[in-house]
Chain A
Amino acid sequence: MYSASDLRKNLKIQIDGEPYVVTDFQFVKPGKGQALYRCKLKNMITGSQFERTFRSVDTFQPADLQDKRMQYLYPEGNKYCFMDMESYEQVYLTEDQVGDALSYMIDNLEVDILFFGDRPLGITLPNFVDLVVTQADPWVKGDTATGDYKPAVLETGYQVQVPPFVVEGEKIRIDTRTGQYVTRVKD
């Protein structure tokens, strides 16, 4: 159980069975009165926000959140299917829930899916993903003119800047935290 004095930005709590994240938080206290904590809360499922003032005697449940390691299988309409590698259970995330991760998702990619109870909420990618270059201008050997990066398109449709020596068909490593090229990868 959390008490009001545990409140801080990004804390995840459960109210009426739904998970909320504290997006803003203020300590207020009348001189002779009790400490109060004014919070802005965002519903992690619906995204809706509201404000509530908690008293110092209030307590709340931590949100029942868990990360599960799963494997990306395939898209289905505007949803994306992930499988638990031990139980073979499948869950679907919506395009909204997947968000930017779409740029890096290839078959069988292992990711962490955030669950609230048994409801999937979102996705955490591994720090690096290896993707094949499907389109890039060729490298003319002997072209020493510049070391400038050039645009390339990867197998997921994601566009990224790469060094001039990277060619179509090659696999490269992308840092999912920055979206940038890291190195070439040998299969």
Chain B
Amino acid sequence: MERLPITVRRKRNLVIRAGIIQAIRLFFTERAFLEVETPIRIPAPAPETHIDAIPSDGWFLQTSPELCMKRMLAAGYDKIFQLSKCFRHRERGSRHLPEFTMLEWYHAGIDYGRLMNECEDLFLFISQFLGAGDTISYQNKTISLEKPWRRLSVSDAFKRYSPMPLDTALADDRFDEIMVSNIEPGMNGDRPVFLFDYPVSLGSLARTKQCDPTVAERFEIYAGGLELANAFSELTDASEQRKRFEKEREYRANLGKIAYPAPDKFLRDLDYMPESAGIALGVDRLVMLYADSETIDEVVAFSPEEL
């Protein structure tokens, strides 16, 4: 395929980006979701071992609007969505920007299985809105968005693609390395994939399966080899959430990372949160997919280096 000069390509991508954001808003408002905006600068980010917040005058820039949006679920808002900037310290690569755009939506009364259906519908809606039918062409591969997408459990993915069993990978702290080196390349087929049912240690904000407390009801979406979204049936048990946060805090301390203030108001409100499912989707990555971009730089108006 003949490549256009970079600036023309960027403009084309930004037009696609604007279309995707319009489509997202239409999709959710048609389904009676309320669009909300929660504060970007917060006092207490959720403690996560491998996600670091950027400090902001004594508080922090959000790494995700999750805690605020769950507080809204607790306050009686049942179907909410948000498009917001999130900030993650020292995350820069061909698919990472320290400042990026996240779409998060939360739906009270459903679980992660129903949420998967909502995702399939959203991608199809966007594709049709862009006039691209049901397929996406990404890096010389054709991806069909037709339902149902592929569904693969983490344990099956390890059996199929990993050089070592899941338990060993977790014990040796090589889960992420194997995901990136062995499993992600397998997520580059002719349909998007839901990779689901992660070990509970890797889903600190997720509810565990009733039949198996070692497994969290968590899934991720992969398409074209790109990691696009992370979703849970949400944990609503405040005392369990406290324990999980403690663990994360401990892991962070062991890695010499700073401790964040405890998100007390979130933990207090959690008791009032209904059973829900929620998801965080990287909008820039979504644009990369629909615009057939190899790097995230090409789908934003300015990368940090261009400022």
Interface residues of chain A, those whose CB is within 8 Å of chain B, are 5, 26-36, 38, 53, 55, 57
Contacts and interface: CB of A to CB of B under 8 A. Distances in A.
Nearest to A28: B180
Interface stretch (B67-75, B92-100, B125-133): B92-100
Given A32-B51, A34-B50, A27 B93 contact: yes
A33 B93 contact: no
B90 A55 contact: no
A5 B91 CA distance: 11
B92 A33 contact: no
Interface in B87-142: 90-96
The contact size tier of chain B is 20 to 34
B130 to A, nearest CB: 25
B48 interface: yes
Given A28-B180, A30-B227, A35 B94 contact: no
Contacts of A31: 220, 227, 230, 280, 282
A33 B173 CA distance: 10
Contacts of B173: 55, 57
Given A33-B176, A36-B180, A28 B93 contact: yes
Interface of B: 48-51, 90-96, 173, 175-177, 179-181, 202-203, 220, 227, 230, 255, 280, 282
B230 A32 contact: yes
A55 B202 contact: no
A32 B50 contact: yes
Contacts of A35: 50, 90-91
A36 B176 contact: yes
A132 to B, nearest CB: 49
Contacts of B202: 32-33
Contacts of A38: 180-181
Nearest to A27: B93
Contact of A32 (B48, B95, B96): B48
B195 to A, nearest CB: 10
B216 to A, nearest CB: 11
Q: Which 4 A-B pairs have the closest CB atoms?
A: A27-B93, A33-B176, A34-B50, A34-B176
Contacts of A5: 90
Given A53-B177, A55-B177, A33 B50 contact: yes
Contacts of A55: 173, 176-177
A55 B180 CA distance: 11
A2 to B, nearest CB: 16
Contacts of B230: 31-32
Contact of B96 (A29, A33, A34): A29
A33 B230 CA distance: 12
Contacts of A33: 50, 175-176, 179-180, 202
Contact of A36 (B94, B177, B255): B177
A26 B173 CA distance: 20
B276 to A, nearest CB: 19
A18 B276 CA distance: 54
Contacts of B90: 5, 35
B98 to A, nearest CB: 11
